[in-house]
Amino acid sequence: MASVVVSRTTALGGFRVDSAAVRDACALLGIEAPVRVKLSRGRRRIGATRFDTDFGGYSITVSTFSTPERATETLWHELTHCMQSEQSGGWHMFTAKYRQHSGMTGKRYKVNPYEVEARDIAAMYRDVPLVKA
């Protein structure tokens, strides 16, 4: 089971990441690599995921400007990308396959099967909170 590390635990909007809930979500999605969740003060992106080789796991950022509901949905979305990475054979394989399906802008981004699946899973679990108000 993935270990979960949370840094900067309280957002400007007053929510905080629930480490135990994120750990349960990782187990549900079959994520084995460690996951670090950071709250970012950036407004440009509501969430992002990357593989951090120094950490040896996934690094997810979530905007502190999100509502608790949006932060939960964003975390489910980004955790789905972690799951997709492991199912693809690793981060480099995932990103290569991701790029094969579409570019990062416009309509092609919206129809990328990885993004469609991430939105679907986030919608399916939006009522399973990963943050606490």
| Count: domains in the chain | 1
CATH number for position 41: 1.10.10
Q: Please give the torsion angle defined by the CA atoms of residues 70, 131, 58 and 12, in that order, rounded to the nearest 10 degrees.
A: 70
Q: Is there a domain that residue 133 lies in?
A: no
Rounded mean pLDDT of the chain? 88
Q: Is there a domain that residue 132 lies in?
A: no
For residue 111, what are the domain limits? 4-127
- pLDDT higher than threshold 80 for residue 63: yes
3-state secondary structure 24-60: HHHHHHCCCCCEEEEEECCCCCCEEEEEECCCCEEEE
Q: Is there a domain that residue 52 lies in?
A: yes
State the pLDDT confidence band at 28, using cuts at 50, 70 and 90: very high
pLDDT tens digits for 78-118? 999 999 999 999 999 999 888 887 655 555 777 889 999 99
- pLDDT higher than threshold 70 for residue 44: yes
For residue 10, the model assigns a pLDDT of: 57
Average pLDDT over residues 9-22: 79
Give the rounded percent of residues in the chain with a pLDDT score beyond 90. Answer: 62
| CA–CA distances in Å: residue 70 to residues 45, 51, 66, 94, 115 | 12, 23, 6, 25, 16
pTM of the model: 0.89
| Pairing, β 16-17 against β 4-7 | unpaired
Give the rounded percent of residues in the chain with a pLDDT score beyond 70. Answer: 87
Q: Is there a domain that residue 97 lies in?
A: yes
